[in-house]
């Protein structure tokens, strides 16, 4: 087996330490490193402090050191200056970086003469570094090498960092270090929590070690990702076949729980199924407040199958727009099976779609009762073969209840479309 290549991640920023900003960068970077066979061994979060940064750089022991943050135009952004001190170099104006800064501000309507010196100073970069262009912002990435070790500094803005990682860092790390090849396959599941899922597939999981395959459970609200991985080395095709075979076995074992692979999103999968069938969708949302419509329309081309929706947060809207009788609301309450089924039927009829999904629940933190506590949500799916509904109960914050409810409804629709479960 090839020598293991290791990495550490240094996240710089006072805002990370006080909880003002959540450090999503480190997790994403660790995941991307793993995909190319590099193991992240350490994540360190430090303040915008010269001594802290110097100490962290000096203590680095891994092959690859990834640094994010502190590259902005303000006085507290000191990463560049500290890197110059650590590597014994100086800042010089980089013409290509300056041209990118000017281009960005001119696209924003700024006259060339009105571009501030503090913005142009972002093109001042350490003389000894290799510049990594930032196509999404004004702060360039910087690549340094010392004693067989690589140091890479990138902006802390996630979408800027990710672009630099994908285009300039990951390919270069692979070329320089030749990390061991790892075959990955990520299977996406929904509808069952991590512990229950593990129990359901326990025998299958036990069979993986004999194939040299590792399984990782990666849970998030409403979703559990199952990542299969194995070292390929010289038997690359054979390793891929082993992973593919075990994935096929899993798809037979839990077909109703698997909705996709890799980077698939549930709303994307549902949209693809609707488009393949030439069918349309409408939504009636109460407790989700339009969030499901947002998920659906986040997919390019969703107008081919998504007609629209009604956010019937108030009972008056339920009655006027969805045709729900007032006595039904009085007798059962808005959060009930009869009401949510009528919501689904009403919006499907009003917007003349093949399918509809409706939501009515108590997202919290207030509004719960002993009979209908916070997290109680009724979901209904109406289609050519009738209306079916389901009662779910999700613990957690308001946002979590909304998120998990949205996914549960989309999954109900997915299963109806596929006629599984």
Answer whether residue 1 shows pLDDT above 90: no
pLDDT tens-digit readout, 155-196: 999 999 999 999 999 999 999 999 988 899 999 999 999 999
Task: Write the secondary structure of the chain as one string of H (helix), E (strand) and C (coil).
Answer: CCCCEEEEEEEECHHHHCCCCCCHHHHHHHHHHHHCCEEEEEEEEECCCHHHHHHHHHCCCCCEEEEECCCCCCCCCCHHHHHHHHHCCCEEECHHHHHHHHHHHHHCCCCHHHCCHHHHHHHEEECCCEEECCCCCCCCEEEEEECCEEEEEECCCHHHHHHHHHHHHHHHHHHHHCCCCEEEEEEEEECCCHHHHHHHCHHHHHCCHHHCCEEEEEEECCEEEEEEEEECHHHHHHHHHHHHHHHHHHHHHCCCCEEEECCCCHHHHHHHHHHHHCCCEEEEECCCCCHHHHHHHCCCCHHHCEEEEEECCCHHHHHHHHCCCHHHHHHHCCCCHHHHHHHHHHHHHHHCCCEEEEEEECCCCCCCCCCCCCCEEEEEEEECCEEEEEEEECCCCHHHHHHHHHHHHHHHHHHHHHCCC
Among residues 185, 325, 200, 178, which one has the least CA distance to residue 252?
200
Among residues 183, 198, 189, which one has the least CA distance to residue 229?
183
Task: Write the secondary structure of 41-79 as one string of H (helix), E (strand) and C (coil).
Answer: EEEEEECCCHHHHHHHHHCCCCCEEEEECCCCCCCCCCH
Q: Looking at residue 115, what is its pLDDT? A: 92
Q: Band the pLDDT of 2: cuts 50, 70, 90.
A: low
Cα-Cα-Cα-Cα torsion 398, 400, 405, 410, nearest 10 degrees, comes to 140
Domains in the chain: boundaries: 5-177, 182-261, 266-418
Residue 285 exposed, middle or buried by CB count within 10 Å (0-12, 13-18, 19+): buried
Q: Which whole number is the average pLDDT over 210-228? A: 96
**The CATH fold of domain 266-418:** Maf protein (3.90.950)
CATH of region 182-261: 3.30.70.2860
pLDDT tens-digit readout, 228-241: 999 886 567 899 99
pLDDT tens-digit readout, 17-28: 999 999 999 999
Q: Which whole number is the average pLDDT over 121-143? A: 97
Of 420 and 26, the one with more pLDDT = 26
Q: Band the pLDDT of 118: cuts 50, 70, 90.
A: very high
The residues with which 224 forms a beta bridge, in sequence order, are 189, 219
Give the C-alpha separation, 392 to 389, whole Å: 10
Answer whether residue 80 shows pLDDT above 80: yes
Q: Measuring CA to CA, how many Å separate 96 from each of 131, 135, 143, 167?
A: 9, 12, 16, 17
Q: Looking at residue 237, what is its pLDDT? A: 87
**The CATH fold of domain 5-177:** Molybdenum Cofactor Biosythetic Enzyme; Chain A (3.40.980)
Are 85 and 52 a contacting pair, CB within 8 Å?
no
Q: Looking at residue 154, what is its pLDDT? A: 99
- The answer to pTM > 0.85 is no
């Amino acid at each position: 087996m090839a020598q293991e290549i290791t990495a550490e991640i240094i996240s710089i920023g006072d805002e990370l330490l006080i909880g003002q900003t959540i450090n999503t960068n480190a997790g994403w970077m660790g995941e991307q490193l793993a995909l190319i066979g590099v193991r992240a061994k350490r994540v360190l979060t430090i303040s915008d402090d010269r001594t802290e940064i110097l100490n962290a750089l000096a203590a680095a022991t891994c092959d690859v050191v990834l640094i994010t943050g502190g590259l902005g135009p303000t006085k507290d952004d000191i990463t560049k200056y500290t890197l110059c001190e650590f590597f014994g170099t100086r800042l010089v104006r980089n013409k290509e970086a300056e041209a990118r800064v000017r281009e960005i501000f001119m696209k924003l309507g700024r006259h060339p003469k009105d571009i501030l010196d503090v913005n142009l100073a972002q093109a001042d970069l350490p003389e000894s570094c290799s510049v990594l262009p930032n196509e999404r912002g004004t702060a360039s990435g910087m690549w340094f090498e010392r004693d067989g070790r690589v140091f890479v500094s990138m902006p802390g803005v996630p979408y800027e960092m990710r672009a630099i990682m994908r285009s300039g860092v990951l390919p270069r790390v692979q070329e320089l270090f030749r990390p061991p090849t790892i075959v990955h396959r990520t299977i996406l599941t929904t509808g069952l929590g991590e512990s229950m899922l593990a129990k359901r597939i326990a025998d299958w999981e036990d069979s993986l070690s004999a194939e040299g395959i590792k399984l990782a459970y990666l849970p998030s609200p409403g979703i559990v990702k199952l990542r299969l991985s194995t070292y390929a080395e010289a038997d690359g095709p054979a390793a891929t076949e082993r992973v593919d075979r075990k994935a096929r076995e899993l798809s037979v074992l839990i077909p109703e729980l698997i909705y996709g692979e890799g980077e698939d999103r549930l709303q994307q999968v549902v949209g693809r199924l609707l488009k393949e069938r030439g069918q349309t969708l409408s939504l009636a949302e109460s407790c989700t407040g339009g969030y499901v419509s947002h998920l659906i329309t986040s997919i390019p081309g969703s107008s081919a199958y998504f007609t629209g929706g009604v956010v019937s947060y108030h009972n008056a809207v339920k009655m006027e727009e969805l045709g729900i009788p007032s006595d039904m609301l009085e007798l059962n309450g808005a959060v009930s099976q009869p009401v949510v089924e009528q919501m689904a039927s009403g919006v499907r009829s009003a917007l003349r779609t093949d399918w509809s999904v409706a939501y009515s629940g108590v997202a919290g933190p207030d509004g719960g009762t002993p009979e209908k506590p916070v997290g109680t949500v009724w979901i209904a799916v109406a289609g050519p073969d009738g209306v079916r509904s389901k009662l779910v109960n999700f613990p957690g914050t308001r946002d979590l209840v909304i998120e998990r409810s949205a996914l549960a409804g989309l999954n109900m629709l997915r299963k109806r479309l596929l006629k599984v479960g």
